[in-house]
Amino acid sequence: MKIYLTILLLLAGWGWACCQQPGIAEIKKELEKSPNSPLYVKQVLKKKFKIDTVIVTRTAVFRSLADSIAYHGREKKVYGPFRQQGGSFLVQILAKSPNLFYHVSQIFIDTTVFPYRFADSLGDHMLTALREGTTSFEQLAQTYSMGGESATQGDLGWVARGVLLPAIEKELAKRKKGDVFKIWSPNGMHIIRKTEEPRNDTGFALMMRVFL
């Protein structure tokens, strides 16, 4: 009888402890309210966590879930849970900061495929055709560009400072909206159009993963 009562007490204690464990919704709510989320995770939840700086390089096409949340998410908001091998985790955006973004279009000619002289002559031909208005940048990109942007008619979208070639960024600073110019790189020739004036947008996010 004594052993039976002991087992009952142990089971009751275990059940009470389980009830005290906050659910996912409660954890998310408390994290969003907490003035110091990492401290809350460490001292109250007693769960493992990791803090990363996530860089947003483009605002239309994202490399991963992390930079998509970094760009679209709100500060202090908790997202998830997300599955990973062997478990799951929540993500909270602790802070966001801006970067400069360029909206450019490109026609790329690969000089490992075509000789330099041919690429140079083709580039001059395209620039002349654009000046004379006999064709559009989009048509030329679709026909000639050897990069993936041929599928988007040359549009690279909004690209973060530091992603484009330094020579391209330097030239963009001198140009006005709509200008088209030619730049060479070790890989080939780039015909660049400054589609829009640069703008500040979310470029970095400090994000915490809480492992459940």
In the 8-state DSSP scheme, what is residue 42? I
Count of residues in the chain: 212
Give the per-residue pLDDT at 147: 85
In a domain, 7, yes or no: no
In the predicted model, what is the mean pLDDT of residues 87-99?
Answer: 96
- In the predicted model, is pLDDT for residue 13 greater than 60? no
Q: Which residues pair with 183 in a beta bridge?
A: 190
In a domain, 63, yes or no: no
- In the predicted model, is pLDDT for residue 202 greater than 90? yes
Q: Give me the long-range contacts of 12-20 (CB less than 8 A, separation at least 24).
A: none
Q: Which amino acid, 9?
A: L
In the predicted model, what is the mean pLDDT of residues 12-21?
Answer: 40
User: 36: left (phi > 0), else alpha (psi -120 to 50), else beta?
Assistant: beta
Q: How many CB atoms lie within 10 A of CB 26?
A: 10
- In the predicted model, is pLDDT for residue 5 greater than 80? no
How many domains does the chain divide into?
1
* Helix H or strand E encompassing 133: none
**Domain ranges, residue 115:** 100-200
Mean pLDDT across the chain, nearest whole number? 89
Give the per-residue pLDDT at 72: 96
In a domain, 123, yes or no: yes
CA dihedral over 162, 165, 167, 169, signed as positive or negative = negative
Percent of the chain with pLDDT over 90: 84
Q: What are phi and psi of 174, to 5 degrees?
A: -90, -15
In a domain, 39, yes or no: no
The predicted-structure confidence for 98-148, as pLDDT tens digits, reads as follows: 999 999 999 999 999 999 999 999 999 999 999 999 999 999 999 999 988
Give the per-residue pLDDT at 85: 83
Q: How many CB atoms lie within 10 A of CB 73?
A: 18
**Cβ contact 71:59 at 8 Å:** yes
- In the predicted model, is pLDDT for residue 19 greater than 90? no
In a domain, 142, yes or no: yes
| CA gap 25, 46 in Å, rounded | 17
CATH assignment of the domain containing 144: 3.10.50.40
In a domain, 26, yes or no: no
pTM of the model as a whole: 0.83
Task: Give me 152's structure tokens.
Answer: 């988007």
**Cβ contact 86:129 at 8 Å:** no
The predicted-structure confidence for 40-86, as pLDDT tens digits, reads as follows: 999 999 999 999 999 999 998 898 999 999 999 999 999 999 998 88
In a domain, 166, yes or no: yes
137 vs 1, more confident: 137
Name the nearest CA neighbour of 34 among 48, 24, 44: 44
In the predicted model, what is the mean pLDDT of residues 161-179?
Answer: 96
- In the predicted model, is pLDDT for residue 22 greater than 80? no
Q: What are phi and psi of 135, to 5 degrees?
A: -155, 175
In a domain, 47, yes or no: no
Q: Which residues pair with 91 in a beta bridge?
A: 79, 209
Give the per-residue pLDDT at 1: 44
**Cβ contact 91:209 at 8 Å:** yes
Give the per-residue pLDDT at 21: 53
- In the predicted model, is pLDDT for residue 199 greater than 90? yes
